[in-house]
Amino acid sequence: MAVTSSSKGTALITGASRGIGAVYADRLAKRGYDLILVAREEARLQALAARLGSETGRSVSILAADLGAKADLAKVEATLRTDRTITLLVNNAGTAALTPLLQSDIDKMQDMIDLNVTALTRLTYAAAPAFVARRAGAIINIASVVGISSGLNGVYGASKAYVLAFTHSLHNELADKGIRIQAVLPGATATDLWALAGRPYQDLPASIVMLPEDMVDAALVGFDLGEVVTIPSLHEEDEWKRFEAARRSLSARFGNSVPAARYRSGALASV
């Protein structure tokens, strides 16, 4: 048994029973965090908790919850508000869709918004005040590259764009209060999220699919480097820096008291 003696506090991880969330659980336990694992599948959580507890010597507890259900979500919010050992929140739980807008069931799209956006937001609001009061803590939000690129289902992409924008806002508000914020934007990752969305990742070109272990390990290096946005699959760092610089430069030009000339009355008549 590999035992880590010192503790970094407790990490609460949502969507922890499989895929990216289960890898985060493994890596964070080995880094010295105790764990609270949250997911719907209690049996899988119990098996993972038993294994990680045995392998690392960390305290690993489980909280079976469906974050799309208000009562279950409220239980996790209460844990974040009251458990003072929690120092890290990993907002990983989410779902995806591949169907075009007109072929998508609106109720399923609402369910996706409830999980990808509403639950993530409420859990962050539950955790942040305690972190700010202690001037210590970190929040990792799992977004996706589709949040900045078109493709797949529009509601899914929009939900991940929200996570990215929300993370930027959190960083702007909380960084000077001692809170670490990171958005992780995976590309195609070898998890069963793809099959649940209707297309197994095995159907994708192997050259674009990353193992979840590699994705999480890279994301944690980005976390250690202090990155606000980490894109493990983007090899050219300068491309992201140019994108961000262009975004900031453009946003500085939005404050004008009159519309642009092209939108003024009579502008079309002169074309």
Q: What is the full DSSP assignment across 178-228?
A: TEEEEEE---SBSSTHHHHHTS-GGGS-GGGPBPHHHHHHHHHHHHHTT-S
CA 13 from chain centre, in angstroms, equals: 10
Position 78 in a domain: yes
Position 1 in a domain: no
Position 101 in a domain: yes
Q: Quick one: pLDDT at residue 3?
A: 45
Selecting among 156, 162, 201, 263, the annotated active-site residue is: 156
Check which CATH number belongs to the domain holding 194 and give it.
3.40.50.720
Integer Cα distance of 86 and 28 in angstroms: 13
Position 95 in a domain: yes
Q: Quick one: pLDDT at residue 166?
A: 98
Residue 127 Cα distances to 84, 89, 91, 110, 236, angstroms: 10, 7, 11, 24, 34
Number of domains in the chain: 1
Determine the structural domain holding residue 172 and report its residue range. Answer: 10-270
- What are 70-85's pLDDT values in tens digits? 999 999 999 999 999 9
Integer Cα distance of 152 and 99 in angstroms: 7
Q: Quick one: pLDDT at residue 67?
A: 97
pTM for this model (two decimals): 0.91
Q: What is the dihedral of CA 105, 107, 110, 115, to 10 degrees?
A: -100
- Token pair for 113: 């918004």
- Of all residues in the chain, what percent are helix, strand and coil, respectively (each to 5)? 55, 15, 35
Taking the alpha carbons at both ends of the chain, their separation in whole angstroms is 75
Q: Which residues contact 55 (CB under 8 A, 6 or more apart)?
A: 1, 2, 29
**Residue recorded with tokens 């008549």:** 269
Is the separation of the CB atoms in 180 and 170 below 8 Å? Answer: no
Position 2 in a domain: no
**Vertex 193: Cα angle to 9 and 159 (nearest 5):** 75
Position 3 in a domain: no
Position 162 in a domain: yes
Q: Within the chain, which residues score under 70 in pLDDT?
A: 1-6, 194-195, 197-201, 203, 266-271
Q: Quick one: pLDDT at residue 4?
A: 47
Q: Quick one: pLDDT at residue 198?
A: 63
Q: Quick one: pLDDT at residue 101?
A: 84
Position 5 in a domain: no
Residue 156 is a catalytic residue: yes
Pairing of strands 86-91, 10-14: parallel
Integer Cα distance of 16 and 178 in angstroms: 26
